[in-house]
Each structure stands twice: as C-alpha cells, then as structure tokens.
Chain A
C-alpha cells in the first residue's frame, strides 16, 4: 500500500528553527509537495521537490532524498504566524497525490 508518515504534532519556540520530517512509500514517484494549512483555512502551496537536494525559499527550505524515501521541511526564524499544520504529499506513478495526515506545529513565545 501507499503510505506517508509525518509526526502528528511538534512544538518550537519563536525565533528558533524546526525540521518537520516526512517519509513515504508509494507506487512510483513524480515529486513531493509541502503545503501549509492554518486552522479553519484551505491548504496553500509551499514547495515542490522532484530531484534530490535542498530547495531554499526564504525562511523555508525543503529537502528530498529519493533513495531513502525521505523529505523534510525546515523553517527558520520561526514566527507566531507559522503556527499551522504542514502537509506532505507525494505524486505517485499515476500522478495521483498521496497526502500525509499533516504535522501540527505549535509556536511558543
């Protein structure tokens, strides 16, 4: 079967750095997405990785290792507004997006 694993919840301090991990087992691989979802709102796109390595976009970076079936989202200089759920999703061989259950990130002052 297809599976995406992420931690259910993480807590971090304002100004700090946090890494949210995602491991996957899917039928084929056509890219990995990270989305941010604030409570009561729709998910919004953060990043896309299809090749191994690190993609940096401002305070957010995303890393992919296809051989390990592993990705992480790195958030730097955390702000209170970063409190949200972070969803990992993988496009399988049929280009269907397989979604993880999301990681709820709590930022404390």
Chain B
C-alpha cells in the first residue's frame, strides 16, 4: 500500500516569505506527527495530531509555525516569515494510533527547506 507522502520534496524560499508543507499520511492512521531535522542532528518534535483531539503543539519553536489537519487526514505545516534558521528537513510521520501499544511511526521522505 501507499506510504506517507510529502510535498514538495525540496523548497527554496527567500527570508521573510511564508511556506506551506504538505503531508499525506497512510490511510486509516489516526496519529500524525511533524518533526524537524537539521543536518547531522536528531529529530526535533514539532506537533502531534491524534484523531479529533486538540493537537499537541508543545514542540512548535515559535508562533510563526502552525499546522492543521483537515478531515483527520492530510496535514499542512505553515511557516510564516521564514528565517534562515528554519532551514532543515521537515519530516512527517503517521501511526495507526498515538496512544499505547507498539504502534511504530511510518515516516515520509521529508521536505528539505532552504531559506536564503
């Protein structure tokens, strides 16, 4: 079956512009996660959606970052007024459930964002 997909795969933008990154999770997966990974670094948690519950936004680094998940499926991460330090690979992951159990996360290929 289809895995997690993300678009675009690469995005180059000028400082100060807004960007939108898209994630299509695996069909039927109720949990969706956004992470950020800088070169050679570990995963930085950004936001987590579980079903219809209010999202866990505790990892968003500033109010320039926001995300939504429409209809419990597709998610969009928006970064307003981008800064050079926002340059990173943005990874989306989904799992069957977020709470409990051994539900592993399946990752998309990521969006490499470069802010010039």
Residues of A in contact with B (beta carbons under 8 Å apart): 30-31, 33, 41-45, 48, 50, 87, 95-97, 99-102
Say whether A41 contacts B109, CB under 8 Å. Answer: yes
Report the separation of the CA atoms of residues A96 and B33 in the bound assembly, to the nearest whole angstrom: 10
With a cutoff of 8 Å between Cβ atoms, the chain B residues found around residue A87 in the complex are 42-43
Main secondary structure of the interface of A (DSSP, over half): loop
Q: Which residues of B contact A (CB under 8 A)?
A: 33, 41-43, 45, 48, 56, 91, 98-102, 104-110
Q: Contacts A42-B108, A43-B107 given; indicate if A48 touches B45 (C-beta within 8 A).
A: no
Using known A-B contacts A41-B109, A102-B42, determine if residue A96 contacts B104 with beta carbons closer than 8 Å. Answer: no
Q: Give the residues in chain A near B48, CB-CB below 8 Å.
A: 96
A73 to B: closest C-beta gap in Å: 15
Residues of the B chain whose Cβ atoms lie less than 8 Å from the Cβ of A95: 98-100
When distances are taken between beta carbons in the complex, the residues of chain B under 8 Å from A100 are 42
B106 touching A45 by the CB < 8 A rule?
yes
Interface of B is mostly: loop
Sorted nearest first, the 9 A-B pairs with minimum C-beta distance are A101-B42, A42-B107, A45-B104, A48-B102, A99-B43, A95-B99, A102-B42, A43-B107, A99-B42
Q: Which residue of B lies closest to A6 (CB)?
A: B42
How near does chain A come to B112, taking the closest CB pair, in angstroms? 9
Q: Is the CB of B100 within 8 A of A30?
A: yes
Chain A residue numbers with a CB within 8 Å of B33 are 97
- Chain A residue numbers with a CB within 8 Å of B102 are 31, 48, 50
In the complex, besides A44-B107, A87-B42, 4 extra interface pairs with C-beta distance below 8 angstroms are A42-B91, A42-B108, A97-B33, A99-B42
Selected A-B contacts with CB under 8 Å, 8 pairs: A42-B91, A48-B104, A87-B42, A95-B98, A97-B33, A97-B105, A99-B43, A99-B45
**B41 interface neighbour in A33, A41, A101, Cβ under 8 Å:** A101
Q: Which residues of A contact B107 (CB under 8 A)?
A: 42-44
